[in-house]
Amino acid sequence: MKYYEDLEVGTKASFGHYEVTREEVLEFASKYDPQPFHLDDEAAAQTYFGRVSASGWHTCAMTMRMMVEQFTSQQVASLGSPGIDELRWIKPVYPGDTLRVESELIEKRRSKSKPHMGFTKTRQTTFNQHGEAVMSMIGNSIIGVRDPEAAGD
């Protein structure tokens, strides 16, 4: 298990492989973001997107899936998240794209009131198969501490 004490600011990782399908784009949009450019080829052709594109929220969900798979494979003592500080949708994501994630741990601190946990900030960037950034965010995580009695940083 990887605990708060094991994490080092500046650590970078590259992970994930998510193939975006038309069926999933349409299903997500019809449930959660039913705007015409996410659902209809003709409507999308008249917009900036040029064709049906994934909802930004769908891009977040696909990124989250890759992040959870990474946490699980690395056995990180994740205790959830209090939220994100920044979120940018940089380029559209289209059916047929393949996504991956790069992350960098940019900050960490021990909880002053709860000695069994620490907080981290990580810059996550999602890329398409062409190496183009499609989304970026700074996520906050709560990570379990191995030894709550040890001094924090």
The model's pTM is 0.92
Residue 121 and residue 149 in contact, taking contact as beta carbons nearer than 8 Å: no
The dotted CATH code for 4-21+62-144 is 3.10.129.10
What pLDDT digit, counting tens, does each position of 32-90 carry?
Answer: 999 999 999 999 999 999 999 999 999 999 999 999 999 899 899 999 999 999 999 99
Q: What value does the mean pLDDT of the chain take? A: 95
Strands 83-89 and 12-19: unpaired
What pLDDT digit, counting tens, does each position of 117-132 carry?
Answer: 999 999 999 999 999 9
Q: H/E element holding 121?
A: strand 117-127
